[in-house]
Amino acid sequence: MTKQERINEWEKKIEQIVSNYKNLSKRCDAADEAGTLTTEGNLFRAIWSAFESMLNMVDQHDWISWYLFENDCGARKMEAGYDDEISKITTPRQLAKLIVEGEERYNVSIEQQNIDITTPNNK
C-alpha cells in the first residue's frame, strides 16, 4: 500500500471513530439527562471502557485518543508532530498524516494491525 493509500485508509477509520464517539457521547448524555444512565454507574463505565479498549487496539501510539479527548476532535487546534515538523491538528486528514508518519518511523502499518472498526449504520 502506498503512503497516500495508508493516509486515506487511516482518514476513513478516524472519521468512523469520531462519528461513533460523537454518537455514543450524545446518546449517553441524553440517557443521563433522562435519568436512565448515570455517569457513576457500571453501565456507563462499561460502555466507555469498551470504547477505550477499541481505541487501544486500533492506535498503539494514542494519537486518536489524544485527538478525541484532549484536542476535542480538532476543535482545540492543538499542535503535534515529530522533530521540527509540528503543526495544528484540526481534521482527521491531518491526524491520518501524523499517524502514517509515526508508522514510518516505528515501522508499524495499518496493514500489520489488520483491524476493522467499521460498524453498522447507527440509528
In a domain, 14, yes or no: yes
Based on the structure, what is the number of domains in the chain? 1
In a domain, 71, yes or no: yes
Structural domain containing residue 56 = 3-112
In a domain, 55, yes or no: yes
H helix and E strand count, the chain? 5, 2
In a domain, 9, yes or no: yes
Tens-binned pLDDT, residue by residue, of the chain (123 aa)? 899 999 999 999 999 999 999 999 999 999 999 999 998 899 999 999 999 999 999 988 899 999 999 999 999 999 999 988 899 999 999 999 999 998 888 776 555 554 454 444 444
CB neighbourhood size of 68 (10 A): 21
Which helix (H) or strand (E) is 85 found in, with range? Answer: strand 85-88
In a domain, 120, yes or no: no
Does the reported pTM lie above 0.75? yes
In a domain, 119, yes or no: no
123/22 Cα distance (integer angstroms): 13
